[in-house]
Chains A and B, each alone.
Chain A
Amino acid sequence: MRRRRPGPLAIAVMSAALAGGAVSGCRGDAAPGLELETRPDFGGDFTLTNQDGQPFRLQDVRGRAVLLFFGYTSCPDMCPATMSRISGALSRAGASAKDVVTLFVSVDPRRDTPAVLKAYVASFETPPIALTGTDEQIHGVAAAYHASYEIVPTATANYLVNHTTAIFLIDRQGRLRRYFAYDEKPEVLAAALRTVLNEKSS
């Protein structure tokens, strides 16, 4: 399913795979109402490059809850609104940076260089980790999370990028637990975060 907001700037895509069904299944020590994702091909570790130009692996933040989001720094609509929701959720959950990390995976690696990402994250009181990589690397991560993106030329040099707008919640053990619509209420995100944070990390 593709979702497009009316208007020339609004671009949002939920991939067919994501919209195709709710995350379901239950095993192990998952908390009630926040089941584990059981599809073996959904989520998983990856390696990209952070805003400091250093390699970043998802397993580097093992032990912390993760909110992962695909976007790009010059996104005029969905990304700012989504980052605001995530920031609001972190604040409501009372989560400190040592417990929760937000990963902003750029789907615009051509423009979103580490230097650009570094300036971007500095604009947040609780900065996300912003990630970029080669086209192949970004494609790989997007595919693992059943996300999609495509460049949309415009009449100006400021092209847009259609992209999946879901927010992915990964627990302290690196397991994909759930995804949320970009416009999910911060209170709902905060409640899910608290659930994950109250679980043992191993």
Chain B
Amino acid sequence: MSHFASVLLLLAAAAPAAACASQARRGQQLYAERGCAVCHGPGGRGDGPSAKRLDLPPRDFANVRAYRQGSARSDVVASIRRGTPGGAMPAFRDLSDAEADDIAAWIVSLQQPGSGGQP
């Protein structure tokens, strides 16, 4: 394989990752703008100032086993848009699908696949 072809392949492989990072940055911005940190905490650890007064406190986004509605990005989008039935997460219908997807991209970026602990 020529050097030029190798570079093209590398660029092609990097593009989706860059797009994901860009989405995650937008999502982090939206997360801060919309006040998600009130419950979820500034870093998504479930430690926002209102969390301790909720009967069902938010989970730590780093812990992939903690997600009640699934930890895939599409699951997170669904939780944002529809809320979590029986939980404390309301439906954020004011967010567009694209905005919810951006926030989900950031949340998923916080996941630590090897994380354990109590869900």
Task: Please give the residue numbers on chain A whose beta carbons come within 8 Å of chain B beta carbons, in ascending order.
Answer: 7-10, 73-74, 76-78, 80-81, 83-85, 87-88, 91, 111, 116, 119-120, 122-126, 154, 156, 158, 183, 185-186
B116 at interface by CB-CB < 8 Å? no
Kindly list chain A residues whose C-beta atoms are within 8 Å of the C-beta of B117.
none
What's the dominant secondary structure at chain A's contact region?
loop
- Min distance, Cβ A51 to any Cβ of chain B, angstroms: 11
Interchain Cβ contacts under 8 Å between A and B, 18 examples: A8-B86, A10-B90, A74-B50, A76-B54, A77-B88, A78-B90, A80-B92, A83-B38, A88-B34, A88-B94, A120-B49, A124-B32, A124-B38, A125-B32, A126-B33, A154-B55, A156-B55, A185-B94
Kindly list chain A residues whose C-beta atoms are within 8 Å of the C-beta of B39.
80
Nearest chain-A residue to B29 (Cβ)? A125
The 8 lowest CB-CB distance pairs between A and B, nearest first, are: A74-B53, A119-B49, A123-B37, A76-B88, A77-B90, A84-B34, A123-B38, A125-B32
A88-B94, A156-B55 known; A125 vs B50 contact (CB < 8 Å): no
- Min distance, Cβ A184 to any Cβ of chain B, angstroms: 9
> Contact at A73–B49, with CB atoms within 8 Å?
yes
Return the CB mask of B17-34 against A: 1 if under 8 Å, else 0: 000000000000100111
A74-B53, A74-B54, A76-B54 known; A84 vs B95 contact (CB < 8 Å): yes
Nearest chain-B residue to A75 (Cβ)? B50
> Contact at A87–B35, with CB atoms within 8 Å?
yes
What's the dominant secondary structure at chain B's contact region?
loop
Kindly list chain A residues whose C-beta atoms are within 8 Å of the C-beta of B34.
83-84, 87-88
- Min distance, Cβ B100 to any Cβ of chain A, angstroms: 11
Kindly list chain B residues whose C-beta atoms are within 8 Å of the C-beta of A185.
94
- Min distance, Cβ B12 to any Cβ of chain A, angstroms: 34
Nearest chain-A residue to B54 (Cβ)? A76
Kindly list chain B residues whose C-beta atoms are within 8 Å of the C-beta of A158.
53-55
> Contact at B49–A116, with CB atoms within 8 Å?
yes
> Contact at B90–A80, with CB atoms within 8 Å?
yes
A7-B85, A123-B35, A123-B38 known; A73 vs B50 contact (CB < 8 Å): yes
Return the CB mask of B69-93 against A: 1 if under 8 Å, else 0: 0000000000000010111101111
- Min distance, Cβ B73 to any Cβ of chain A, angstroms: 20
Nearest chain-A residue to B88 (Cβ)? A76
